[in-house]
A = this chain, B = another copy of it.
């Protein structure tokens, strides 16, 4: 049986082959640029592995799997404009390297090309795949809008935050798995479980991102530890802390959230201590564990040959244990 590493290699080669279009070059070069910056490609890999649960012909999932990756990169191209982000994977963002107009229009074409790639799903399964993709794609936009709305609010609840990350990041992971199931020929119960597994895992991954920013090992964590704290980013931890803090702890937290000039490592240390005082670390770890457990439970219940499930389970375990 083909290994996840072999699937990933084939996927990378396919992604490199895709030109997305020819003229005008101003429209298609930014797409090739962004797609060439890499990333772990774990979304399309999930699609291939989910298809492999039910068929040896995983090749027929190659183009639809790329649709998931192209869509994901489309959201990055447009989100980076909205967030005024200068860098993406350590390189200039498209709106920085070219300009915002180019990033808007190239992004638009990327979304259309994602649909093009989805058209390779076999005819009898195409409509279901497209209907589910449409719902997912709109939800991802809804999540981005909620995220932007939250920037100016200090009364965001835990439930609102979880819903936002579910929409912005998790439903696409759910769809990536579900799409593989649809292409492989899984029944409705199995595709639903694959979707639920991906959504729960996705929420767990995002909460773990939030946690690692504060408590990650600087040697293993790819980014600067404490970056979210320095930027007052509304993570799960901060939202919990704002909800729980009282008295002098509340005054302390409010001070660090409002002070304009500060020593970065001092702020990171102080806010981390507030989180510790409020039991935020343990609570977040519990939440992450709950979502991962629910995700694995759904995967266990997916009706498929155990030998075929082993590589997918192993890959997801790897993702769950990563520390960067």
Chain A residues within CB distance 8 Å of chain B? 21, 23-24, 26-27, 78, 81-82, 100-101, 104-105, 107-109, 111-113, 115-116, 119, 123, 126-127, 130-131, 134, 137-138, 141-142, 144-146, 148-149
Contacts and interface: CB of A to CB of B under 8 A. Distances in A.
B119 A105 contact: no
A142 B24 contact: yes
Number of this chain's copies in the assembly equals 2
Contacts of A126: 126-127
B78 A141 contact: no
Contacts of A26: 145, 148-149
Contacts of A145: 24, 26-27, 105
A100 B84 CA distance: 12
A70 to B, nearest CB: 13
A77 B130 CA distance: 24
Interface of A is mostly: helix
13 contacts: A24-B142, A78-B108, A82-B105, A104-B104, A105-B144, A107-B108, A108-B108, A112-B134, A113-B138, A119-B131, A119-B134, A126-B126, A130-B130
B109 A141 contact: yes
Nearest to A143: B24
Complex A-B, nearest 3 residue pairs according to Cβ-Cβ distance, in ascending order: A82-B101, A27-B145, A24-B145
Nearest to A20: B138
Nearest to A101: B82
A14 to B, nearest CB: 19
B111 A108 contact: yes
A104 B82 contact: yes
A144 to B, nearest CB: 6
